[in-house]
Structures are given as structure tokens and as C-alpha cells.
Structure 1
Amino acid sequence: MKISAATVLSARDVTKLYGDTPALRGIDFDVAAGRVTALFGENGAGKSTLMRILSGSEHPTSGHVELDGEPVRFASPRDAADQGVSIVHQGLSLCPNLSIQDNLFLAREICGGAWVIDRSSQRATTTAILHSLKEYPDPDLPVGDLMPGEQQIVEIARALLQEARVLIMDEPTSALTAPEIEVLFRVIKELTANGVAVVYVSSHLEEALRIADDVVVLRDGRLVATADAESVSVRWLLERMTDRDRDDLFPHHAPVSGQEVLSLRGLVVADPANPGRLAIDDLSLTVREGEIVGIYGLTGAGRTELLEALAGLIPSQSGEILLCGVPLEHAGIRDRIAQGVALVPENRWRDGLVPTMSVGENLSLARLGTFVHRLFFSRARERKVVDRMITDIDVGWEDTRAPVASLSGGDQQKVIIGRALLTAPRVLLLDEPSRGVGTDARAEIFELLAAHAERGLAVVFSTSDAEEALRVPDRLLVLARGVLAGEFRRGETAREELMRVADGTTVGTGEETAE
């Protein structure tokens, strides 16, 4: 890639080794002012390593970074930010107990005198930056009270306060709702219109192509393709990212005709954030052994609330939840797990993983009691169970003592699924199981679920991905504002009909809408 007049940040022949293992191999990468450069690649392709090098968190083993065509060596992320290169990580780095203005000026306070912070100037500057992004929250509002999309905007505002010329965004939509994604895209377009260069790293291919100007693909640590975003398709990306055919990205699962294992009768669940609103309204459904059931819906449809009510995280107002005929409404979380209901939460960092623990320790948490005999903890028994599960879920890391934070997003998700499977569930609930993972990892996760379904496990998962909803489950339930708006067997409907039903404008069943 040649340096153009608009190129702001570049990697030149960058190689990064961890021991003898190459993470990057001779990468040449350019970022242009006023354009969105979308970076694609599977887990392990080298995306995160390249972003850490560009933002000053790491240094290349060989090669160098250039800023405005001149070699530069960032001493730290703070040094990079001071020179105009900022990064917004997937896991936001905000302090939830501090206000918006305090987060923006943390370690960069405006002082009006000796040891005195000029809060009035900070507030005015915060308001001006937020208004430039067409956002109008109170600068004194605690960040913890904001929605995920609003927190993402605060991260961007902090980068702009540091006069960012290059903004690197790592999986920026992984925790956002559809309306919040639209707000983020509007902000990105305004930034690029003002000359800011954006590096956009995402595993959501169609979504990223909407916002991208330039496309770069990494595979196995090498840069394998570049193109103008308007000239490429999802299929083009997949062909260069992975050896998989698009049809192989989802498992070919033959549903097992088993006994009814889960039954809901007239379930009503209030919205935890707004008790006056019903998240689930008079829902009845059944799930059988060996069946994979998908729950699809737009923002506010009640997908997460349904799964959390089934797992016992939030109470139901009325109705019945039956597991193999046994009522669960008054059972707590621990009792439901013991009876065979396990949940894989949507937010793996907040609700699923213990980041300070190893891969093995995160897995074995599900069965700690079984490793104790006469007050002694059996490491050998724990290791045997963990090793067997590591093989089953195919985590690409042999050392179970490694920190779970060192795994890719896809392998971290497999660890959480593996821990749930160690409870020997009858019903496995998964909330957005493919969110924030690469294409290959997504395929592997659904292959894992299909394999366990063939052994009789009932799988219920929620998704906001239309293609996933249409191609993975044996049976798809569509929620619209807490009501069951449609039910389809695999292959019985198309994307357009699915979106109409999810929007609540029509109510359908497979028989009514099959094409």
C-alpha cells in the first residue's frame, strides 16, 4: 500500500513475535484522514495485536509505525493519544461512579489555581464536545447511569478532547442495541466529515460494510486483501478471511424428536428497568429434548428478559414455567441449575467470566463441590474434568493455567458455554452467544451446540442477527414487544418477512408465511 497525501497513520513491514510464534508477519497498513478503514479477520488473525501496536500498547518486533509519513515510537497509549491516536476498546475504560465530565478530564483536569479544579470550565468544555456529537446529557450525570451506546459516545468524546486525529474502535457495537448502533454510525460519519481517520474493527461483516470506506483483511498474521468497501460483499470478505464456504458457517442440524422438557404457560414478566412495562406478555411455548429453538426480536422485544426469567435472575409476575413437568416459578437460581437449567449471559465480561482467574478455574467454578472429598480439594479430579471439557469445546489453548483474559473472544465464549455444560443441563439458555466473536468461532459455537442437541440437550438461544435466526434454529420464535408474533421452522420464511413480523406489523406462523 503506497502512502497517499491523505495517509495519517501507517504500519510499515510490521512483524510481532510472541516467543517463536508470529502474531503479525510483515504488515503494511495505511489509515487515511476522513475515511473509515474497516479491519476484518478471524480470531487469531492479528487484528488486536496490530491495534495495540498502532495505539502504543505494544511495540513491533521489527518494522515501525509512521505518523504523517514519519517514523514514530509511541512510549504508551497516553503518548499515542497525546500525538493524536486514540483507541476505544471493546470493554469500555470508563469509571462508572464518576460523572461524564470527570471521566473526560480524568488525569487531565483543568486547574484554576493551585490544587483547585476549574469544574465550571470542564463542564462547559464537556457540554461543547457532547453537543458537537449531537448528544445532550447532563455533564454531571454518573457514567454508570448511561446506556451502553451513550457510554460509547463518552469514550469518543474523551478521544476528541485529546484532539484525536485517528480513532481506533475495537468491536464498537458488540454491546449496543440497533438504535444505539445508528447513533454511533451518525457520530462516525460526522467525525470523518471533519477529517478524523477511523479504524473500525468488527466481526459483524454486513454491519461494518455499511460504515466502511476502505476494507483490509488479515489472515494468520498476514495482510491478504485491501479494497474499496463499495466494491466488496460479505461473501468476498469470507472467502479471504477463512477457508469456510458461507453455507458452512452454520451447522446442518437434524432435530431430535424427544420428549417435552420445557413448557411455559401464560408467562408474564415485568421489565426490570421499568416495572410498569411488561417485557413478556402472556407467553406460552414448549421446547423438546434435542431441539434448537431461536428467539429473535428487535430492541425491546423481551429476548433477554425471557431468558433471565427462565434462569431465575428476574421474577415472573404470573404464569407457569415447567421443567419436565415440575414448576420452577418459585425456585431460585441455584435450584434451577441443580434441576437442569443453565444460562450463558449476553455480557461475558460483566456476567460470565472471572478475568483474574485462569481458563481452568473459570471452567471448574460450575462443579467446585464435586472436587471436595472429606474437606480436601482434589486438583487431580478437577484437572480431569477440565481437560475433558477443554477437548469437548475445542478451546484453542492447551494450557488451562493461562489467564482467561488472554483468550480470543470466541474462546472465552466457549469457556462460558463449557462451564454451563459442566452443570449437566437439560435446557441450555444462551443470550446472544455469537456477539463479539469471529466468523469461524461463531460457526464452531453453533456446531458445539448442535452436537449437544443431538445428544438430547434442549437449546434455547436469543439473537439479533437475522441470518443467524433464519439458518441456525430448528424452530424460530419471533417476539415483538413481549408478545409471540411469529413461529417458523427453518427454511419457512425469508429475511423480509422476518423483519415485518419482528416489527409487530404482522403476526405469522410458518404455515401462513412459508414461501
Structure 2
Amino acid sequence: MTDKQPIVVMKGITIEFPGVKALDGVDLTLYPGEVHALMGENGAGKSTMIKALTGVYKINAGTILVEGRPQTFNGTLDAQNAGIATVYQEVNLCTNLSIGENVMLGHEARGPLGINWKKTHEEARKYLAQMGLDHLDSHAPLSSISIAMQQLVAIARAMVIDAKVLILDEPTSSLDANEVQDLFKIMRKVRDSGVAILFVSHFLDQIYEITDRLTILRNGKFIKEVMTRDTPRDELIGMMIGKSAAELSQIGAKKERRAAKAGEKPIVSVKGLGKKGDINPADLDIYSGEVVGFAGLLGSGRTELGRLLYGADKPDSGTYELNGKQVAIGDPYTALKNKIAYSTENRRDEGIIGDLTVRENILIALQATRGMFKPIPKKEADEIVDKYMKELNVRPADPNKLIKNLSGGNQQKVLIARWLATHPELLILDEPTRGIDIGAKAEIQQVVLDLAAEGMGVVFISSELEEVVRLSDDIEVMKDRHKIAEIDNDDTVSQQTIVETIANTNVNGKEA
């Protein structure tokens, strides 16, 4: 595939944690003068692989060669000394220091009396000029420049150590389109100097624009190494999620699509709803009894749009109408008061309150809507808890158990019970079936269908395309934090339809 000698060869990398094998015999080869993307869904092993290469994690098995020499990294300094530099999503610079001090940190020019600051700043300006940043004042505080500029300063700092490998972990997540292009210009310059760049991003358009080669991981295992230009997008997505084109086209029994009623008005209608840096402005209508699926790869903007609908994040653009009346949903309390509920994808950290009982977890949102001085009467509380524990088949059927001692599937049922107790008109479920067993997953999917049949509007967010297709009436397709398509989910729609839409449509809604 290339006559170049690789800079890095990682072979058979295995990393185990108690009870889990995070990486299982994974290979990665990085060549000079190439941008190489590490691809995979959440939990595929991308971050673990980077940490193995940067010395954060020790490997349990496998070998790492840098320029043909075996390496054993006992920490990040060992990796840096081998020429491996990393720029993380959250720039790890010192905002209280100057730009020049950040560039040269740990490599300051020294004289007989200690650090020679004049020479240090002269050296810093040379590296900044290489990044096209010669217009910056090296004496200015780092905090005075944008996040995008700080990213480029971090790359300049990496060049100080004469990096052979530059790892960029989600570097574009906080950048606008123009800033992304500025970064790509620098990346090409660094690549052309002979550095190997390892690039991690969830933005498919960016992957195809900037990378030369891809390594695909899934569930901690190496799937394939391919050239970007030779790999159709739908094929790449299929490898990431573990489905062939044939499998993607096969689905189970689909929900019969809800029939629109003449003259009906949506429960929720948003126009141009967005938040800079999180999700680009989007339009969306949700009707009573309708399941609206949000589909897209990780990082596409599914969760961000759900959080805006609930007010967990405050939008900075757009209008929001609820039952025909304009409202301002800027916080969860206002959303709950307006009968909008949201079950988070982060069940453990943002959902359950582990040291409270099942009963307390079910009642907490309803109590919040009534206020601390209006406690729910015991009889009503008992009826609510008993009703939803039975309807959702929560096991064990003991409301006084601590919720942290329940299985993931039963914890998820309790969270759904919490929001149903508030009698919402719109229920937003973010990854409600992630990480739970098949039986509990089937029960929760049936709950979604039952709620819609009873007239509730449901937003169903999932990384599993099969269940989005099977449960939804309409599907909002997300990509690179844009809504790129709205699909009427009739009998002609399959997982493959969504994959092809993501692969072939750019963020302006046109064919890629």
C-alpha cells in the first residue's frame, strides 16, 4: 500500500481492566506524511489506544515500535521523549501564562543566570510562525486568544519537542467552520513536513476531507485498516457499527406509521433552535402520539438537540412553541412545568441518585414540580410508585431498595417511571436501551410504543439504527451537529436508508 517505512507500529495491543478487556489484540500502523484516523463508535477502544501510545496506560500484551525500535512507555514523559505529542479536545495549556511561555514550557532558553526570556520568546515566535501565527504577540496572555488559536498554539508546542507523531483528539469539537479550515491548513503543513498525524473525530465530512488512512475499531478489537479514498462512507459506517449492507437492510417488525390527522397541530414546534458550538439551528415538529427518532453517529448532535428541547442547555437561537403558544424553555424546571420530560443518556452520573431508594428516585421529579413545601401525600405517593413499578415491571419489586443495587435495565425503568409520574406531554428518551440486557431492552421498547399509543409525544434518541427504524414514525437524521434530513418512516425505510443518508448528504442538506 506504501513504500514508506512506518513511524509507529503497534501490534497485538491488549489492555485489561478488572472484569473487562478494553483492547483485544489491536494493531495500528502510522506512516510519515499521513493523516490517519482512528474510527469507531463509543466504547470501541479509541481513547484506550491513544492512552497506550502516549504512556498513560501500560499494555498487558503486544508491542510498540517507534522508528523500528521497541518501546516500553512507563509514563507520558517516555512517550514524549520518543517523539509522540498529543493535543487533546480540552487544550491542556496554562491560560495564566503568556503565549510564548506556553509554547516553550519545559524547553525555555537558558543562560548563566537561569531562563533567558528574550531568547525564549524569540524561539517561541519561530514555532508560532511555522503554524502561521506570526501575527500573535508571544507576550500576550494565552487567555486573550480564542480556543481555535489555543489549539494551534498547542500544536506549535508539540513541534518544540520535534514530534514524530502528533495525536489530535477531537480537536474540532469547539471550532466553527472557518476555524476548522484554519486547523486543517496547519495539519497539512505539519503532515507535509513528514510528521504522522493521528486524528480522532466524530465528524464524517472532516474525516473524508483531511485523512489519508483509517483504522476501524469495534468493541475493543481491530476490524480493518483502509485507505480513506477507497472506502465508501456507508461501508465505513457499516464496519463501525458491525453491520454489512445486507444486514443493514434487514429489520424486525416495524411500528405501523402513525396516520396524520387533518388540521392537527404539533405539541412542540421549534424553528431555528440551536446553540453555538453545540448544535446548528434546526426545525422540528412533534405531534401527539408520535415517536420521533433521532439518528446519527456519535457526536452528530442527537443529544444536544434533545437537551435544547428540554432546556438542559439554553438555546441562543430559534423559537419554541408548545401547543401553539410561544414559550421560553431555558431550564429543566420550566420544561417540567410545561409537561416536557427528559431521561438522560448518562444514567449513572446524571440520572439515578444511587444512595436513594427506588421510591425516592421515582418521586423526586414530581416533588420538584410541586415545591419543597408541598410534599406528596403518602397515599398518592404509594399509588404512583406501585402503578409504575407494576407497569414497567421493575425488579426486584421492592421500592425501598437502594437504586444503585438494581441492574442497569431496572435502573432505566425507574428513570422512565420518574418522568412518567410528572404526566408529560413530551418525553425525551436519550439512549434508554444502552447497556442493558435483551429482555429489559425489549420491555423498554414496548413501553415507548405503549406511551405513543396513549397519545404521548416521544423523542427516541439511539445509536442503534435498528431500533430507531423499528420504533419511529419520523426520523430526524443528524450529522456533524446539523439536522441533515427528515425521513417519513414508511415501509421503504431501512437502516441502510439512514446510513446512506448520513454518508451521502452534507451538512447543507445536499449530496456529499
Q: Which amino acid aligns with 2:85?
A: S
Q: Given residue 78 of structure 1, which amino acid in structure 2 is its aligned partner? A: L
Change (3 A) 1:425 1:141: farther
- 2: CA distance, partners of 1:326 / 1:18: 52
Higher relative strand content: 1
Match of 2:465 in 1: none
Summarize the Cα distance change of 1:98–1:294 in structure 2 as closer, same or farther, 3 Å threshold: farther
Map 1:210-359 onto structure 2 (within 5 A): 210-245=209-244, 247=248, 256=258, 262-263=267-268, 287-292=287-292, 308=308, 311=311, 314=314, 321-322=321-322, 324=323, 328-329=327-328, 333-341=332-340
**In 1, are the aligned partners of 2:275 and 2:314 still within 8 Å (CA)?**
no
Asked if 1:134 is matched to 2:132, the reply is yes
TM-score (structure 1 length as normaliser): 0.62
- Kindly provide the CA deviation profile for residues 255-288 of structure 1, in whole angstroms up to 9, marking residues without a partner as x: 55698564569x8999999xxxxx989x996654
Worse-superposed segment, 218-227 or 50-59: 218-227
**Which secondary structure does the structure 2 equivalent of 1:38 belong to?**
strand
Decide whether the 8 Å contact of 2:8 with 2:30 is kept in 1.
yes
CA contact (8 A) 2:7 2:32 kept: yes
**Distance change in 2, residues 1:418/1:233 (3 Å):** farther
Structure showing greater radius of gyration is 2
Give the distance between the partners of 2:106 and 2:340, measured in 1 at CA: 46
> Structure 1 residues 502 and 162, CA, compared in 2 at 3 Å: closer, same or farther?
same
- Matched with 2:409 is 391
Residue 99 of structure 2 corresponds to residue 81 of structure 1: no
- Maintained 8 Å contact 1:35/1:213: yes
**Larger CA deviation: 104-113 vs 82-91:** 104-113
* Equivalent position of 2:187 in the other structure: 188
Matched position secondary structure for 2:7? strand
Number of equivalent positions: 440
Q: TM-score, normalised by structure 2?
A: 0.62
Distance, in Å, in 1 between the alignment partners of 2:101 and 2:265 is 54
SS in 2 for 1:94: coil
* C-alpha separation in 2, matches of 1:423 and 1:149: 42
Q: 1:390 to 1:212 in 2, by over 3 A?
A: same
Q: 1:220 to 1:294 in 2, by over 3 A?
A: closer
The answer as to whether partners of 1:88 and 1:167 remain within 8 angstroms in 2 is yes
Closer, same or farther: CA 133–64 of 1 in aligned 2, 3 Å: same
Which amino acid in structure 1 is aligned with residue 31 of structure 2? Answer: A
Alpha-carbon separation, structure 2, partners of 1:111 and 1:61 = 40
CA distance in 1, matches of 2:364, 2:53: 45
* Matching residue of 2:381: none
Gap regions ≥5 residues in structure 1: 274-278, 297-302, 375-379, 396-415, 442-446, 463-468, 504-515
| Cα offsets for 1:348-381 (capped at 9, x unmatched) | 9xxx9969x999589999879579999xxxxx96
Match of 1:62 in 2: 61
Tell me the equivalent position of 2:389.
none
**Structure 2: any 5+ residue segments left out of the alignment?**
297-302, 377-397, 437-441, 462-467
Compute the displacement of 1:385 (Å). Answer: 4.8
Amino acid at match of 1:290: E
Deviation at 1:193, TM superposition (A): 0.4
Deviation at 1:194, TM superposition (A): 0.4
Q: Which residue number in structure 2 is paired with residue 465 of structure 1?
A: none
In the TM superposition, residue 59 of structure 1 has moved relative to its aligned partner by 1.7
> Partner of 1:167 in structure 2?
166
Distance 1:362 1:182 in 2: 49
Matched residue SS, 2:129? helix
1:4-153 equivalences under 5 Å are 6-19=5-18, 21-111=20-110, 114=113, 118=117, 120-135=118-133, 136-140=135-139, 143=142, 146-153=145-152
Secondary structure at the residue paired with 1:153?
A: helix
| Distance in structure 2 (CA, Å) of the matches to 1:8 and 1:288 | 57
Please tell me whether the aligned partners of residues 352 and 411 of structure 2 are also in contact (alpha carbons under 8 angstroms): no
Deviations 1:433-455 (A, max 9, x none): 89xxxx999xxxxx999877642
Identical counterparts, % of pairs: 22
Partner SS for 2:215: strand
Structure 2 equivalent of residue 201 of structure 1: 200
DSSP-derived class of the 1:7 partner = coil
Aligned to 1:411: none
Q: Does 1:474 align with 2:489?
A: no
For the 8 Å contact 1:353–1:362, the answer to whether it is kept is no
Q: Is the CA contact 1:11–1:30 (under 8 Å) kept in the aligned structure 2? A: yes
The RMSD of aligned alpha carbons is 5.8
2:100 and 2:477 map into 1 onto residues whose CA distance is: 43
Tell me if the contact between 1:56 and 1:77 (Cα under 8 Å) persists in the aligned partners.
Answer: yes
**Shift of the alpha carbon at 1:190?**
1.3
Instruction: Quote the offset at 1:83 in angstroms.
Output: 2.4
Q: Does the C-alpha gap of structure 1 residues 362 and 23 become closer, same or farther in structure 2, counting only changes over 3 Å?
A: farther
The AA in structure 2 aligned to 1:26 is G
Shift of residue 201 of structure 1?
Answer: 3.0
**Distance in 2 between residues matched to 1:330 and 1:43, nearest whole Å:** 30
Shift of 1:338: 4.1
| Equivalent position amino acid for 2:127 in 1 | I
Which amino acid is the alignment partner of residue 164 of structure 1?
Answer: A
Q: 1:353 to 1:390 in 2, by over 3 A?
A: closer
Amino acid at match of 1:218: L
The AA in structure 1 aligned to 2:213 is D
With over 3 angstroms needed to count, the CA separation of the structure-2 counterparts of 1:288 and 1:116, relative to structure 1, is farther
Q: 1:239 to 1:137 in 2, by over 3 A?
A: same
Partner amino acid, structure 2, of 1:65: I
Which letter does structure 1 place at the counterpart of 2:188? K
Query: 2:416, 2:180 → 1: CA distance?
Result: 27
| CA 1:176–1:15: 2 relative to 1, 3 Å | same
Structure 2 residue identity aligned to 1:29 = L
Answer yes or no: is the 8 Å Cα contact 1:292–1:459 preserved in 2: yes
Query: Could you list the per-position Cα deviations for residues 302-353 of structure 1 after superposition, in whole angstroms to 9, with x for gaps in the alignment?
Result: x97997597286588997743x56764498652333433357999x9xxx99
Distance 1:112 1:250, change over 3 A: farther
Deviation string 1:456-491 (CA, Å, 9 cap, x unpaired) is 4545699xxxxxx9998827699xxx9x99988569
Query: Per-residue deviation at 1:34?
Result: 1.0
Query: Tell me, what secondary structure is at the counterpart of 1:185?
Result: helix
- Aligned equivalents of 1:422, 1:473: Cα separation in 2: 25
